[in-house]
Amino acid sequence: MTEDQNSALIEVADLTVAGAAGIDSRRIRLRHVSLSIGRGEIVVFGGEAGSGKSLLCEFISGITRRSLQVTNGSVRVAGRDAMGKRSARLAPQVSYLGREPESAFNPHHTVERSLREFTRLLARISKKPKEMDWNEAFYAVGIVEPERVLPLVIGDLPLMMLQRLALMRALMSSSKVIICDEATAALDRVAESQFIDLITQIREEKNVTFVLGMGRLRNAERFADRIFLFFEGGILESGRASDLVTKPACRYTAEFLATSPKLTHFPHELSTISAEAIAEAEAILHGGDGILPSTEAE
């Protein structure tokens, strides 16, 4: 970890979130989540659907839901409150990419029109003209012939190209943090590999912090610095990616890792998480301090 990474850019302190009303008010969506992430790290939030990983991605991005109530804790990004009334000031410090990047674009616009409108938006936010070198931004996300891409209609583009454009807009914003929540979930394996290679390159060249919410951890140790595994709204286990993958501290983690499909798997051969592993995870999360010791080196 570099000296810059030792200085926390994202700080989550004892965050607990519940449903705001009705029957759902009894449901804890995030429970006592605490973590810090340094500048230039690639961190993975892993877990099943509903585990809390995507919700934390939203809070870090400054996205809040009226249906939820923060009962305790805080989220700060670059020293700023990400949950207060002024959380919009995080923009453009934080950019958010989801599994459906097309929702962030007008499908009827060309790439050129979309980028021009985004440039004008950046100028309004910064309250000063924003001159962009689009060629440099295109090259940074692996688009080497922008003149061929600019006239294309957004709605006709493949998913990986849309993710490249979403990353491009994040870089145009000079974002310090890019949240990628399930951004690879709908990609095929070739495109997924390209996306991971791309964010790794951007991290190395721009020192941008990446937080990836992932429902599977296939090969995460190859690109991530750290992994936080979520279960029922809490962090069940965390540590350096290589350590967590090779030496998981509990059975649930080991079985969750085994659910990531490999090329040699047939559908009927995919692993599932046993009732015993789930019971162990529930006991860890709801008993004692609720969090396993980190596998990170002291």
Does the bond joining 261 to the residue before it have cis omega, within 30 degrees of 0?
A: no
Domain count, the chain: 1
Q: Is the model's pLDDT at 269 over the cut of 80?
A: no
Q: Which of the residue ranges 42-51, 70-79, 88-97, 277-286 would you say has the lowest mean pLDDT?
A: 88-97
Average pLDDT over residues 216-231: 94
Residue 67 forms part of a structural domain: yes
Q: Is the model's pLDDT at 277 over the cut of 90?
A: yes
Q: What is the CATH number of the domain that holds 260?
A: 3.40.50.300
Residue 262 forms part of a structural domain: yes
Helix axes 159-172, 111-126, angle to 10 degrees: 30
Neighbours of 131 (CB within 10 A): 6
Q: Is the model's pLDDT at 73 over the cut of 90?
A: yes
Tell me the C-alpha distance between 282 and 251, whole Å: 12
pLDDT digit string (tens) for 133-147?
688 899 999 999 999
Between 5 and 220, residue with greater pLDDT: 220
Residue 71 forms part of a structural domain: yes
Q: Is the model's pLDDT at 87 over the cut of 70?
A: no
In this predicted structure, what is the pLDDT of residue 132? 62
**pLDDT range class, residue 10, cuts 50, 70, 90:** very high
Residue 188 forms part of a structural domain: no
Cα separation values, 18 from 60, 180, 189, Å: 17, 23, 36
Residue 143 forms part of a structural domain: no
Average pLDDT over residues 75-104: 79
Tell me the C-alpha distance between 150 and 139, whole Å: 13
Tell me the C-alpha distance between 110 and 151, whole Å: 6
In this predicted structure, what is the pLDDT of residue 145? 92
Query: What's the domain range around 23?
Result: 1-92+214-293
